[in-house]
Amino acid sequence: MPKSPADRKAAQRARQRDAGVVKVEIHVDAQELEMLKRNCALRRPGRDPYDIDEYLTTLIRQDAAALQHKIEELSQRKCQKCGEKLPVTECCLSGAS
């Protein structure tokens, strides 16, 4: 006997939950939504556009990689004021002249 749409959806949610997938809601204005849709298409020329979830997760991964690279670059340097290895959350000499 075929599953009902509700049963299929429940099974999908269970698989996603087991995989650690979390639903996140964002609020965007009309202009941002248009940019998002346009970029989903522009990032995949000649093919079907990315869906919004796929595009946003790609951006999150790219940003995480870029940030990690920047942190690694900074860790090779030191704060000019206190001499601590960068990045520092707060310089111990902040506000000192």
CB atoms within 10 A of CB 85: 11
Q: Tell me whether residue 37 is exposed, middle or buried, using C-beta atoms within 10 angstroms of its C-beta: 0 to 12, 13 to 18, 19 or more.
A: middle
Position 75 scores a pLDDT of 86
Cis before residue 2, ω within 30 degrees of 0?
Answer: no
Over the stretch 32-65, which tens digit does the pLDDT of each residue have?
999 999 999 999 999 999 999 999 999 999 999 9
In a domain, 15, yes or no: no
From start to end of 12-78, where are the E strands? none
Any domain includes 87:
no
CA-nearest of 52, 86, 93 to 71 is 86
Q: Is residue 33 part of a domain?
A: yes
- Whether residue 76 is contained in a domain is answered as no
pLDDT digits (tens, 9 = 90+) for 76-92: 888 787 778 877 777 66
Q: Are 87 and 96 in contact (CB under 8 A)?
A: no
Is 3 a member of any domain? no
Q: What is the pTM of this model?
A: 0.70
Position 54 in a domain: yes
Minimum mean pLDDT range among 3-7, 20-24, 77-81: 77-81
Residue pair 91/79 in contact (Cβ under 8 Å)? The answer is yes
Residue 96 lies in a domain: no
The domain containing residue 57 runs over which residues?
A: 25-65
How many domains does the chain divide into?
1
Tokens coding 78: 């030191």
User: Which position has the higher pLDDT, 29 or 90?
Assistant: 29
Q: Is 49 contained in some domain? A: yes
